[in-house]
Amino acid sequence: MDTTSTFIVTEFTPSDQELDVETALPTGLATITKRFSGAIEGHSQALFCSAFDPTHGGTYVTLESFGGQIDGRHGTFSFAHAASTRADGEREDGWFTIVAGSGTGELAGIHGTGDIVIDANGTHHLTLSYEIG
Domains in the chain, start-ordered, CATH in brackets? 2-15+26-132 (2.40.350.10)
pLDDT (0 to 100) of residue 89: 79
- The rounded percent of the chain whose pLDDT value lies above 90 is 87
Q: Is residue 91 predicted with pLDDT exceeding 90? A: no
Q: Is the pTM of this model over 0.85?
A: yes
Decide if 91 contacts 118 (C-beta within 8 A): yes
Section 11-19 average pLDDT: 93
- Report the DSSP beta bridge partners of residue 31: 13, 47
Q: Is residue 18 predicted with pLDDT exceeding 90? A: no
Section 28-50 average pLDDT: 97
C-alpha–C-alpha distance, residues 106 and 29, integer Å: 32
